[in-house]
Amino acid sequence: MLEVKILLEDKEMPKKWFNVLPELLDLKTPLEPPLDPKTKKPLDPKALEAIFPKALIEQEANMEKMIPIPEEILKVYNIWRPTPMYRAAKLEKKLNTPARIYYKNESVSPAGSHKPNTAVAQAYYNMKEGTKRITTETGAGQWGSALAFACNYFGLKAAIYMVRVSYEQKPYRRSMMQVWGAECVPSPSNKTNFGRKILETDPKNPGSLGIAISEAIEDAVTHSDTHYSLGSVLNHVLLHQTIIGEEVKLQLEKIGEKPDILIGCVGGGSNFGGLILPFIPQKKSGENIRMIAVEPTACPTLTKGIYAYDYGDTAGLTPLLKMYTLGHKFMPPEIHAGGLRYHGDSPIISQLVKEGLVEPKAYHQKEVFEAAVMFAQTEGFIPAPETAHAIKAVIDEAIKAKEEAKEKCIVFNFSGHGHFDLKAYDLFFENKLTDYYLEDKYIKEAEKIVEQI
């Protein structure tokens, strides 16, 4: 019988995260350090202690190849991990493709996505160092609910700034955060100076991840018991997500498979990084593994952005990161994949794209929802709109394999379910979704913005 569900036993769950940083040292494109926004010199890690616990600051630049996962974190991971990997046999049949398609199902976590892999680790290290309250931003609400779940587990308060357009599109994500005891406010909000300033000139501002990050940081630095937490982009976040790729390696080994293509959607790069980074040593040693990073055409950071130093937030409070960016003032159109509406990207993923090890690809939201519906009607699981971007690329690659009559092993990350995104599915069926093209004038503006830094 065809093995459709590939499981690991609890005792097989990896006990270490994979640290890609040592692997990046000999690439032609160097991984540039974060810069202090005031001096424009490499950042003194001590400057981050106002917002992050020391353990996470240390992980940002750690050079050990594998980093042991603390026992307390493993215990929480074990609530839903190891996660299943499935063979998408019915999708393969529908596409009549010779490709074998596998997906790692990260939607089985309590919050419904991969985000708790880092939320749990971040809440744990904060709790250990005496933090009482954590602030963060959330786009789609997946990250906010993951952090709410993790803070509740470790007895911390959480204050979550949710991008206003998503707050209105997805009221039940807010409910979920409240169930776990977190406070969730629409951003821009009246709670911070930065939020108030935006609302004064533009009371209907839909918000963006960049604005919500600025608000969450301002809240953290103005409360002495409070730290800030970022759900993507930074090295330590991608590190925590590598448990995904470490499990996938074991699962593929079990069935004697080797991946030809790895695919994930990219907002800030954490679920994609979590899947692909553990395969980087193999790729560097010459194994032919394609790695495809998928983003929306409405916010095409990797496919159209500029590789330059930029702020991670709109107000310009964060250190400067070397990354692909559309400029920190970029206001992405109101697409339904809220978690992919980010102007920048992870410096690690940006470096891998620049180096040519990762291929970026962008899709419009209508074709993405078409792919999501095909997946749900074959495989059963309803994907989050973010995840559906990866699915569209998978379907395209499977069709290409058929045209070329080539057997390919395609593995993708099913980063989250879409149970709170059904309004977007309704709009798709009513033919009310809009596709957005990013005109070149925005790229010119972005160039000007990063030049002025």
Ligand X SMILES: Cc1ncc(COP(=O)(O)O)c(C=O)c1O
- Point out which residues bind ligand X (CB under 6 A): 113, 139-140, 142-143, 232, 265-272, 339-340, 384, 386-387, 415-416
**Minimum gap (Å) between residue 16 Cβ and ligand X:** 21
Degrees to nearest 5, angle at CA 449 with 445 and 450:
120
Residue type, 120: V
Residue with the CB atom nearest ligand X in the bound state: 339
**Minimum gap (Å) between residue 425 Cβ and ligand X:** 15
- Burial (Cβ within 10 Å: 0-12, 13-18, ≥19) of residue 68: exposed
Q: Which is nearer to ligand X, 100 or 210 (CB)?
A: 210
In Å, how far from its chain's centre is CA 387? 10
Residue 320 forms beta bridges with which residues? 35, 311
**Distance of alpha carbon 276 from alpha carbon 266, whole angstroms:** 12
Judged by DSSP in three states, 412 sits in strand
Q: Which is nearer to ligand X, 100 or 173 (CB)?
A: 173
**Minimum gap (Å) between residue 247 Cβ and ligand X:** 16
**Distance of alpha carbon 101 from alpha carbon 55, whole angstroms:** 38
Q: Which is nearer to ligand X, 401 or 421 (CB)?
A: 421
**Distance of alpha carbon 86 from alpha carbon 103, whole angstroms:** 5
In 3D, which of 362, 370, 328 has the Cα closest to residue 436? Answer: 362
Q: Which is nearer to ligand X, 213 or 401 (CB)?
A: 213
**Minimum gap (Å) between residue 316 Cβ and ligand X:** 21
**Minimum gap (Å) between residue 157 Cβ and ligand X:** 22
**Distance of alpha carbon 234 from alpha carbon 248, whole angstroms:** 22
In 3D, which of 444, 453, 445, 424 has the Cα closest to residue 172? Answer: 424
Q: Which is nearer to ligand X, 188 or 339 (CB)?
A: 339
In 3D, which of 192, 140, 131, 139 has the Cα closest to residue 158? Answer: 131
**Minimum gap (Å) between residue 337 Cβ and ligand X:** 8
**Minimum gap (Å) between residue 237 Cβ and ligand X:** 7
**Omega before 82 cis (within 30°)?**
yes
Degrees to nearest 5, angle at CA 363 with 361 and 365:
155
Q: Which is nearer to ligand X, 350 or 387 (CB)?
A: 387
**Minimum gap (Å) between residue 349 Cβ and ligand X:** 8
Residue type, 325: T
In Å, how far from its chain's centre is CA 173? 17
What strands, in cross-sheet order, belong to the sheet with 409-414? 5-6, 85-87, 100-105, 409-414, 261-265, 290-296, 359-363
Q: Which is nearer to ligand X, 97 or 271 (CB)?
A: 271
Q: Which is nearer to ligand X, 272 or 330 (CB)?
A: 272
**Distance of alpha carbon 52 from alpha carbon 41, whole angstroms:** 20
**Minimum gap (Å) between residue 417 Cβ and ligand X:** 8
Helix axes 365-379, 422-429, angle to 10 degrees: 110
Q: Which is nearer to ligand X, 14 or 268 (CB)?
A: 268
Residue type, 214: S
Helix, strand and coil in the chain, % to nearest 5: 45, 15, 40
Q: Which is nearer to ligand X, 182 or 401 (CB)?
A: 182
**Minimum gap (Å) between residue 418 Cβ and ligand X:** 8
